[in-house]
Amino acid sequence: MRYLLLETGGALLGFPPLVWLSLYALALAFIYLICLVVWRMFLCPQANIPGATLAKLTFWYEFYYDVVKSGQYIWKIRQLHDKYGPIIRINPEEVHIQDADFYDEVYSGATRKRNKWSFFTNQSGLTSSAFATDDHDLHRMRRAALNPYFSKQRVRQLQPRIEKSLNNLLGRINDFMVSGGPMTVGLAYAALANDIVMDYAFGRSENRLLAPDFDPSFKEAGEAGAKLGHLVKQMPWLLQIMKLLPDGLQVALNPVMASYIKLNQDVIRHVTRIYSHRHDPHSQYNSQTTVFHEILQSDLPEREKIPNRLWQDGQVTVIAGTLTTAAALSEITFHLLDQPMRLRKLKTELDSISSNSEQLPDIARLEQLPYLTAVIKEGLRLSSGISTRLQRIATEETLTFTTRNPYQDSDNAIRKQYILRPGIPLSMTGLLIHHSPTYFDDPMAFWPERWLENKSLDKYLVPFSRGTRSCVGINLAYAELYLTIATVFGRYGSKDVHSPSDVGWLELYKTSRRDLDIIGDGVTPLYRVGTKGVVIKVHPMD
């Protein structure tokens, strides 16, 4: 009957049936769009949250700034906060908050359920990893198997394995002192972090520190995979198509993928070997206990222990454990060499606990050094770990965000409450907090003393996030930072700052602050095209 009416109506209007059907479809599409606009602007749970109209209506707004303009949405979000206030909608579903005092409400502890948002986690292609697990309860189960191996106590027990890689770093620094050539410390620190995390996770590393150029391909792999995130987030079907393509074709279409594919293959190979030999006590793959041995011996269901899931945890561990630590170490190295006064303070403190022995103090002793701790905090604040925002969904509770007019004193401030219902993706951006003058005076300055003078600033330092979804590798990362800074600057000074026990001194080479300026968000920070990061020359003591 419907076809008869369409055919008759189309004939009466002089249109063929196909044209009439097309017009009918267009009318339905138009009605759908009108309903969608009304829903997103006036009826959805987020409708009361201020923000740019286009951001409320469509994800294409975010697409334009992050994909077309290469990771610039982070700065647009900051501009939108300046215009609309501390709480805004940044896409049709997500609410972004720029108020660090609300951080623990969004990134809460174990007693309050928080899911992740699939719009964000799907971009990784690692949705079976603990990191990208959306459901709170499933994440808790997966995370419980990882926690013991990354505890502070376990990390301290494995300090000798970290020192093995640090000795390789010292050897390479000496090589550059002998050759007189420039050393790209960002690559050296990335190789160090990668060797440590690979040994920690798999019981063996690729010894990238020993490669003449520090084998930069793995660093490029992590950065390449992260940069694809913005595109894949908007078009998740692209990831499925990519998985169907042969590796060679992927590389031909995008040469940068070569290093990323190799990293995937390496991680899969390591995990599969550990899994295959898990019942053989004499296997070389069981000679050292690793995080994956712990998982295989845990109470996780067997379906959670298969290689096809475990390699995803491995991939996240390797990438996250490489890029973020290296960035903080590079930041610290630049500023210490650029500011002799602060290098002198650090070396004086390190000299106070040094001995004639070549052995490093244990991590617990280093953690008690106030200025070293302040230097590390400041390096983490400026480098910020990751640059992207992190979403959390409160599944069972309604949150209330209260704002006030910042131009009025607190007693007479005009306050406004926003009701945030369960199911709304809420996000904050650590980098925007770390670089905000609201929380840190002169935020782009390297000023470790701020942490000694104002202990309350600690609550605003969130490079590893907080709550049940915080970075599982936080204790390993801090151990690497303490040991590496103490190792390098316990043996090397600068032209103007040195100790009697120093074996040489370091000098910045063709490096300026611009080489560390973050220009965009590629999940991890983006730096200007062509920069090599921090480059130094190593000189012997006269």
- Look at residues 342, 318, 330 and name the one whose alpha carbon lies nearest to residue 382: 330
Dump the DSSP string for 347-411: HHHHHTT--SSSSPPPHHHHTT-HHHHHHHHHHHHHH-S--S-EEEEESS--EEEEEE-TTS-TT
H-state helical runs in 385-500: 430-434, 449-453, 474-489
Q: How far apart are CA 315 and CA 374, in angstroms?
A: 31
Residue 298 contacts residue 145 (beta carbons within 8 Å): yes
List strands edge to edge, sheet with 183-184. 183-184, 535-540, 504-508, 492-493
Task: Check: CB of residue 358 under 8 Å from CB of residue 166.
Answer: no
Which residue type occupies 15? F
Cα–Cα distance for residue pair 338/336, rounded to 1 Å: 5
Amino acid at residue number 265: Q
Hey, is 167 helix, strand or coil?
Answer: helix
Q: How many whole angstroms separate alpha carbon 141 and alpha carbon 143?
A: 6
Contact 242, 229 (CB under 8 A): no
Q: How far is CA 188 from CA 275, 295, 375, 488, in A?
A: 31, 30, 20, 12
Residue type, 379: G
Q: Is 471 annotated as a binding residue?
A: yes
**What are residue 536's phi and psi, to 5 degrees?**
-130, 165
Strand 535-540 to 504-508 pairing: antiparallel
Tell me how far apart the alpha carbons of residues 114 and 107 are, in angstroms, rounded to a whole number: 8
Tokens encoding 280: 């053989």
Contacts of 227 (CB under 8 A, 6+ apart): 71, 522, 523, 526
Residues whose CB falls within 8 Å of the CB of residue 444, separated by 6 or more in sequence, listed in order = 382, 435
Unique residue bearing structure tokens 């991939």: 315
Phi then psi dihedrals of residue 211, to 5 deg: -70, 140
Q: Which helix (H) or strand (E) segment is 495 a member of?
A: none
Binding residues: 471
Binding residues for heme: 471
